[in-house]
Amino acid sequence: MREERSSATTEPHSRRGEGARKPARLLPLLALTVVIQQIDRNLPNVLMEPLKQEFQLTDSHLGLLAGTMFAMSYFVAGVPLGRLADRTNRRNLLAALLTIWSTLTALSAFAGSFLALAIARIGIGAAESGTIPAAMSMVSDVVPEQRRATSSGLIYGAAMFGGFVSYLLGGLVAENWGWRAAFLMAGIPGLILAALLILVAKEPLRTTGELAVSHRGNVWHDMGQLLFHRVLGPLYVGATLCTLVASAIGAWAVSLLVRVHGLTLPEAGLAAALAMGLCGAAGTSLMGLAADWAGRQSAGHVLRVPAVGAAILTLSGWAFATGETGYGAIAGLCLAGFMSQAHAGAIVGTISRVAPPEIRALAFALFSVVGSVIGLAIGPYLVGVLSDASTAAQPLPAAIVAILPIMVAPIALFLLAAQRLDRPLVSEQTR
């Protein structure tokens, strides 16, 4: 009788945890979700030149559209949606958000003014802000700890592949059918995937584990615990600065290649697709794998990998901006793309290890909001402002070069966090 009661008791949990036993079913759907997210996010970067002509915009306006307006709504909505992901069905939340931002992307095709397009981008940013918290929280529940940096790197690598698709097809569609067709076609796949998530995916059983603690504080208390954590705090700031520079390079890549090196829009889109998409996907995945491998030698080595990646990103960004030929600039851009998200797998893996499970989605939301979106809000706009104000013969390359010294800070912060991660964290995790 005791065995029968035990079986009956655990059966509902087994059904709830079906997704946890079948990561091979869940992970590809999550990867496809972030692919579509990045397609919709990056599309304005590809369409900057036709949008500039259509609405008579300055580079500052384009920077606002590509980064700041999208990112600020992402910033406002990210933490509440991360909190919601800790407390509700993440599969359903993800499907709903996917439906919202895909619909708004398609409706962007009918924008009659810069303001209308900006409002759509604000809505897209808000909806997309819940993607990474919900997705990475589910990944943490279906992937063993020792493989989380690799799995996280693959998810973020899939996001970079979405950038590849956006740059490649966006330029081709815009050249042949106009920028409005590009927005319309980009919105359709997300609606299909949202239906697949509901029909195929299962909500994973949330793990607790021996490091779980009871958090009765409000969201501000929990955010403070994460932002001022001796390891996570430096990672959030370092990721922000890396994203600032990487997003600026990615946002202005097509425009620089068109303006400075005379490439056509499809040619520049293809080059950016290879660099920020394929190279970015490969680099993000491989650097996550490298972080897991390095972590076998020392816990802190997980975070020394992105420190190296940040240094290489700095040098490659300079090579892209100062390249005298189109081929030289594209080579630098490819290396910059390879390292643009070199920190993602290592940091997400560290968050999944250090953050208490009860607020893990909130920790991932802070990584998206603080560690990514603030940089996205500032980077493209800052380059646009510097470009408009520059008196250099080639103002856009000069503006990109001007922001590269920022990268000294994330290198130092990643190394500091690595040193601290080498020390025992049990006392801090259970405070």
Categorize the per-residue pLDDT at 12 as very low, low, confident or very high, splitting at 50, 70 and 90: very low
Between CA 158 and CA 272 the distance in angstroms is 16
**Is residue 1 in a domain?**
no
Judge whether residue 409 has pLDDT over 80: yes
Between CA 248 and CA 230 the distance in angstroms is 28
Judge whether residue 410 has pLDDT over 90: yes
**Is residue 251 in a domain?**
yes
Of 415 and 24, the structure prediction assigns the larger pLDDT to 415
Instruction: Write down the pLDDT at residue 149.
Output: 65
**Is residue 421 in a domain?**
yes
Judge whether residue 397 has pLDDT over 70: yes
> Can you tell me the mean pLDDT for 237-247?
92
Instruction: Write down the pLDDT at residue 217.
Output: 57
Please report, for the domain that includes residue 126, its CATH number: 1.20.1250.20
Instruction: Write down the pLDDT at residue 213.
Output: 37
Instruction: Write down the pLDDT at residue 319.
Output: 95
Categorize the per-residue pLDDT at 241 as very low, low, confident or very high, splitting at 50, 70 and 90: very high
Categorize the per-residue pLDDT at 214 as very low, low, confident or very high, splitting at 50, 70 and 90: very low
**Is residue 5 in a domain?**
no
Of 106 and 431, the structure prediction assigns the larger pLDDT to 106
Report the domain count for the chain.
1
**Is residue 99 in a domain?**
yes
**Is residue 15 in a domain?**
no
**Is residue 40 in a domain?**
yes
Domain range for residue 246?
24-204+217-429
Judge whether residue 314 has pLDDT over 70: yes
Q: pLDDT for 61-116, tens place per residue?
A: 887 777 778 778 877 887 788 778 878 888 899 999 999 999 999 999 998 888 99
**Is residue 278 in a domain?**
yes
CB 121 within 8 A of CB 237: no
Instruction: Write down the pLDDT at residue 405.
Output: 96
* Average pLDDT along the chain: 82
